[in-house]
């Protein structure tokens, strides 16, 4: 986690400083909620009112700008941006960024009608006009994107073999489940992997990664590994991993 703010933009002498909060808010498809203001895109958020807590300010700003409620708010870090042409004059925006999951939308709660909400993929946003410090925050959320493993041969070491019981929770593993040695996932531990299509307990397995299970409300995504040449649909994958993923807001990434 970033503890010291990163400064973006060319230095401005004696700028107005505005303490702000913004959200990288994802939907079930892994797309990012943005607001379009005169064909420039922004993350939902803005200035923090006096005595207002950051998370409460983010919830309020998101509702006012987009009509969406949010949950699962987690700190990303801090970054600042010099803005020489801000509406209030030359400014340094002091931003704190959070990730969150989008809930339901109530368009009647939108009060900032010049902010048009929409959804964009990571690749779309990186090509769109948006302030650097906001793109930085988005990149922090997606920097552990495991899709680079898709199509590659990997070795999985099983620490949860098919038929074994979870050490803390009351369920039996219906598949082999393990990790990739010498890797790092979102929680600082090895990358986990579901091994699908093998109906006997395994100690180790070499296969092809065909997908990633992306958790919107957790920081540890999982690889899906199968025998070379085997294919599975998204529905088949989710059915195979439902025993564990039912506790999370998950989707299949390709």
Which of 120, 142, 164 terminates a domain? The answer is 142
At 123 the pLDDT is 83
Q: Comparing 123-132, 141-150, 176-185, 225-234, which segment has the lowest mean pLDDT?
A: 141-150
Task: Let me know whether 101 and 226 are in one domain.
Answer: no
Residue 68: pLDDT over 90: yes
Mean per-residue pLDDT over the chain, rounded: 90
Q: What is the pLDDT of residue 2?
A: 40
Residues 130 and 106 in one domain: yes
Looking at the structure, do residues 20 and 138 belong to the same domain, yes or no? yes
157 within domain boundaries: yes
In a domain, 178, yes or no: yes
Residues 61, 168 share a domain? no
Residue that is last in its domain, among 96, 115, 142: 142
Q: Are residues 12 and 55 in the same domain?
A: yes
Contact of 77 with 141, CB cutoff 8 Å: no
Do residues 34 and 48 share a domain? yes
Confidence bin at 141 (pLDDT 50/70/90): confident
Indicate the pLDDT class of residue 1, thresholds 50, 70 and 90. very low
Whether 1 is in a domain gets the answer: no
Mean pLDDT calculated for residue range 234-244:
96
Residue 64 belongs to some domain of the structure: yes
Q: How many domains does the chain have?
A: 2
Q: Which of 100, 125, 142 is the last residue of a domain?
A: 142
Half-sphere exposure of 218 (CA within 13 A, CB side): 17
What is the pLDDT confidence band of residue 145, given thresholds at 50, 70 and 90?
Answer: low
Domain of 152, CATH number, reads 3.90.80.10
173: in domain: yes
- Domain residue limits at 37: 6-142
| pTM as predicted | 0.60
Q: Is the pLDDT confidence value at 21 over 80?
A: yes
| Whether residue 22 is found in the same domain as residue 103 | yes
Shared domain check, 13 and 121: yes
Indicate if the pLDDT at residue 144 is higher than 70: no
Shared domain for 121 and 222, answered yes or no, is no
Tens of pLDDT, residues 163-203: 999 988 889 999 999 999 877 665 557 889 999 999 999 99
DSSP string, 65-79: HH-EEEEEEEEEEEE
Q: Is residue 204 part of a domain?
A: yes
Distance CA 49, CA 57 (A): 7
- Of 224 and 188, the structure prediction assigns the larger pLDDT to 224
> Is there a single domain that holds both residue 208 and residue 157?
yes
179 has which bridge partners?
157, 192
213 and 109 co-located in one domain: no
Two structure tokens written together for 191 = 């990358």
Smallest CA-to-CA distance from 43 within 103, 94, 87, 98 is with 98
Angle at 4 between CA 139 and CA 74, to 5 degrees: 50
Distance between start and end Cα atoms, the chain: 27
Same domain, 67 and 170: no
Mean predicted confidence (pLDDT) in 92-115: 92
Instruction: Answer whether residue 237 is part of any domain.
Output: yes
Residue 74 within a domain: yes
Higher-confidence residue of 238 and 187: namely: 238
CA atoms of 101 and 250, how far apart (whole Å): 11
DSSP 121: -
Across 208-213, average pLDDT: 95
190/180 Cα distance (integer angstroms): 6
Q: Residue 19's CB: how many other CB atoms inside 10 A?
A: 12
C-alpha span between 46 and 52 (Å, rounded): 12
């Amino acid at each position: 986690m970033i503890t010291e703010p990163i400064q973006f933009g060319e230095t401005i002498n004696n700028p107005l400083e505005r303490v702000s909060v913004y959200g990288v808010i994802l939907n079930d498809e892994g797309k990012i909620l943005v607001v379009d203001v005169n064909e420039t895109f922004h993350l939902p958020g803005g200035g923090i009112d006096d005595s207002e807590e950051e998370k409460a300010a983010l919830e309020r700003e998101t509702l006012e700008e987009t009509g969406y409620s949010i949950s699962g708010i987690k700190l990303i870090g801090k970054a600042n941006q010099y803005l020489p042409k801000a509406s209030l004059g030359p400014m340094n925006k002091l931003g704190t960024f959070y990730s969150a999951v989008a809930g339901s939308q109530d368009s009647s709660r939108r009060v900032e009608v010049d902010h048009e909400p929409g959804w964009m993929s990571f690749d779309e946003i990186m090509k769109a006009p948006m302030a650097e410090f906001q793109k930085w925050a988005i990149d922090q959320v997606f920097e552990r994107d495991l899709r680079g493993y898709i199509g590659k041969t990997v070795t999985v070491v099983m620490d949860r073999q098919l038929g074994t019981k979870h050490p803390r929770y009351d369920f039996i593993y219906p598949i082999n489940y393990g990790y990739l040695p010498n890797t790092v996932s979102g929680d600082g531990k090895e990358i986990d992997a579901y091994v699908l299509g093998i109906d006997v307990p395994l100690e180790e397995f070499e296969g092809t990664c065909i997908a990633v299970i992306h958790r919107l409300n957790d920081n540890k995504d999982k690889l899906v590994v199968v025998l070379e040449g085997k294919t599975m649909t998204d529905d088949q994958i989710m059915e195979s991993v439902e025993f564990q993923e039912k506790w999370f807001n998950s989707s299949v990434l390709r």
